[in-house]
């Protein structure tokens, strides 16, 4: 007999989301809906009528975790629309900034997921705030990795959060030889630390994969060998940086994208009839509560070739490096493998960076309304911004951010998991829910949205 249990809100991720799960008599998920419940901010609508210089700054404010990814994707979407090529040294600085942001984000994600895992060789779960080993040395290493990444980002981008150096047509300024050397020294120190952290995380993740049970709220919960498997495809535009419609051979196709509204995807109204007050933190939703994912979801559902796709580290490695592992633990493994790639990328870019080179295009067109898009491979996956710019003003703007792509795919990946570890499946996507929340009712042309919401 199917029952419905709800975890709301989910924890140890950015933003607010919930899980509405239909489960069988053994508590195994038959259908899972994972959806954003973060309030809508309507960044795309705020962009209309603004100058093309203003919009990347607005877009970066969608989130405090992903401002670098959104600044770069938004800037490059404007450049793609107006047909502006940027100098090589500007591109190198952007790539350094991008790679530093990914290192910082992986390290942060390590902190968020480690409490789910056991210290290898023990029955103790990680408490990174414990004043004992190995937690003390692991936490110190993670903090230093993040400090290194944020410092490199601040040098290349102006600030580590909401970077001020990128601009339409390139960058405001190049870096000095001394700043270049400092970034190289930091990247070399970081390379040693990320190798250590990667190997440590491999041991922790593989140890977890070999377990039969995990403990949740004092109960032993079976751990499926195929946790998080799904039958959807993967999508990635590059192993490190990304692509845009200015490329000779773009690696993303605008015509293959379609967006479905949530009421055509998520389950309709259900009544909660399974409750566990002991579930951390604060228990699950009380029995008798009504839930309606169709009406509560604050995102659209993007598809590529008519299907949801997974984006992120596993998708990148599967697309460009023949990585063939699947599921939740494969996502964790792939993410750690990107640690050293980021440091090597920074060092390669610095080798090629001419600190005397120009970083701003000689001519910056004002645009004729053509559609341009740019995708960068943000820590969580393909981050695609689309724009139409005419006479320097934005006519139309859209953001297809990684967690938006992953919501429907992760929902399918929940099938077969014990409901008590569904959050582990979600966390493997390193969600940034605030970035993904973009639906808004704007005018009479979208009357059906208003009607649906009013009925609910």
List per-residue pLDDT tens for the chain, 456 residues long.
899 999 999 999 888 999 999 999 999 999 999 999 887 778 888 999 999 999 999 999 888 889 999 999 999 999 999 999 999 999 999 999 999 999 999 999 999 999 999 999 999 999 988 888 999 999 999 999 999 999 999 999 999 999 999 999 999 999 999 999 999 999 999 999 999 999 999 999 999 999 999 999 999 999 999 999 999 999 999 999 999 999 999 999 999 999 888 888 999 999 999 999 999 988 999 999 999 999 899 888 999 999 999 999 999 999 999 999 999 999 999 999 999 999 999 999 999 999 999 999 999 999 999 999 999 999 999 999 999 999 999 999 999 999 999 999 999 999 999 999 999 999 999 999 888 776 555 555 544 444 444 333
Query: Could you tell me the pTM of the whole model?
Result: 0.94
The boundaries of the domain holding residue 141 are 38-259+304-411
**pLDDT at res. 179:** 98
Place of tokens 């994707």: 73
Tell whether 410 is in a known binding site: no
CATH number at residue 166: 1.10.645.10
**pLDDT at res. 188:** 98
Domain count, the chain: 1
**Residue 13: inside a domain:** no
Bond prior to 9 in cis (omega within 30° of 0): yes
**pLDDT at res. 453:** 42
**pLDDT at res. 439:** 57
The rounded distance, in Å, linking the Cα atoms of 456 and 24 is 28
Tell whether 63 is in a known binding site: yes
**pLDDT at res. 449:** 47
**CB-neighbour burial class of residue 244 (10 A; exposed 0-12, middle 13-18, buried 19+):** buried
Q: Show the 3-state SS of the chain.
A: CCEEEEECCCCCCECCEEEEEEECCCCEEEEEEEEECCCCCCHHHHHCCCECCHHHHHHHCCCCCCHHHHHHHHHHHHHHHHCCCCCHHHHHHHHHHHHHHHHHHHHHHHHHHHHHCECCCCCCECCCCCCCCCHHHHHHHHHHHHHHHHHHHHHHHCCCCCCCCEECCEECCCCCHHHHHHHHHHHHHHHHHHHHHHHHHHHHHHHHHCCCEEEECCEEEECCCCCCCCCCEECCCCCCCEEECCCCCCCCCHHHEEEECHHHCCCCCEECCCCCCCCCCCCCCCCCCEECHHHHCCCCEEEECCECEECCHHHHHHHHCCCCCCHHHHHHHHHHHHHHHHHHHHHHHHHHCCCCCCCECCCCCCCEEEEEEEEEEECCEEEEEEEEEECCEEEEEEEECHHHHHHHHHHHHCCCCEHHHHHHHHHCCCCEHHHHCCCCCCCHHHHHHHHHHHHC
**Residue 237: inside a domain:** yes
**Residue 392: inside a domain:** yes
Tell whether 432 is in a known binding site: yes
**Residue 210: inside a domain:** yes
Structure tokens at 357: 């080179």
Tell whether 66 is in a known binding site: yes
**pLDDT at res. 455:** 37
**Residue 265: inside a domain:** no
**Residue 209: inside a domain:** yes
Judge whether 81 and 372 are in contact, CB under 8 Å: yes
The rounded distance, in Å, linking the Cα atoms of 50 and 44 is 11
**Residue 383: inside a domain:** yes
| Chain-centroid distance, C-alpha 238 | 15
**Residue 204: inside a domain:** yes
């Amino acid at each position: 007999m199917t029952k419905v249990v709800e975890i709301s809100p989910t924890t140890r991720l950015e933003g607010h989301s919930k899980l509405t799960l239909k489960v069988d008599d053994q508590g195994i998920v038959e259908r899972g809906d994972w959806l954003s419940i973060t309030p809508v901010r309507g960044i795309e609508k705020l962009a209309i009528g603004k100058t093309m210089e203003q919009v990347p700054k607005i877009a970066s404010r969608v989130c405090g975790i992903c401002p670098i990814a959104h600044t770069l994707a938004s800037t490059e979407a404007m450049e793609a629309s107006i047909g502006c090529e940027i100098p090589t040294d500007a591109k190198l600085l952007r790539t350094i900034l991008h790679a530093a942001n990914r290192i910082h984000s992986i390290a942060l994600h390590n902190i968020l997921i480690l409490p789910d895992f056991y210290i290898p060789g023990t029955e103790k779960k990680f408490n990174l705030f414990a004043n004992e080993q190995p937690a003390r040395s692991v936490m110190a290493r993670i903090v230093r990795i993040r400090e290194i990444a944020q410092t490199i980002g601040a040098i290349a981008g102006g600030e580590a959060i909401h970077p001020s150096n990128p601009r339409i047509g390139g960058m405001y300024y190049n870096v000095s030889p001394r700043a270049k050397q400092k970034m190289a020294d930091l990247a070399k120190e970081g390379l040693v630390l990320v190798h250590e952290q990667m190997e440590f995380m491999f041991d922790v993740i593989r140890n977890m994969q070999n377990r039969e049970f995990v403990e949740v709220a004092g109960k032993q919960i079976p751990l499926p060998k195929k946790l998080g498997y799904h039958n959807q495809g993967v999508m990635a535009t590059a192993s490190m940086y990304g692509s845009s419609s200015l490329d000779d051979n773009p690696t993303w196709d605008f015509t293959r994208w379609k967006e479905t509204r949530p009421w055509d995807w998520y389950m309709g109204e259900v009544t909660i009839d399974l409750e566990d007050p002991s579930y951390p933190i604060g228990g699950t939703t009380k029995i008798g509560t009504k839930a309606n994912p169709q009406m509560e979801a604050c995102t659209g559902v993007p598809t590529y070739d008519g299907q949801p796709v997974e984006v992120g580290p596993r998708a990148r490695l599967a697309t460009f490096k023949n990585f063939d592992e699947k599921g939740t633990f494969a996502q964790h493994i792939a993410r750690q493998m990107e640690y050293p790639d980021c440091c090597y990328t920074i060092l390669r870019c610095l080798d090629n960076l001419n600190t005397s080179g120009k970083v701003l295009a000689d001519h910056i067109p004002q645009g004729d309304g053509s559609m341009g898009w740019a995708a960068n491979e943000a820590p969580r996956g393909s981050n695609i911004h689309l724009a139409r710019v005419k006479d320097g003003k934005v006519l139309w703007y859209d953001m297809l951010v990684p967690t938006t792509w992953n919501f429907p795919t992760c929902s399918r990946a929940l099938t077969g998991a014990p409901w008590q570890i569904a959050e582990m499946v979600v966390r493997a996507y390193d969600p940034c829910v605030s970035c993904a929340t973009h639906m808004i009712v704007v005018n009479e042309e979208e009357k059906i949205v208003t009607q649906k919401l009013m009925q609910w």
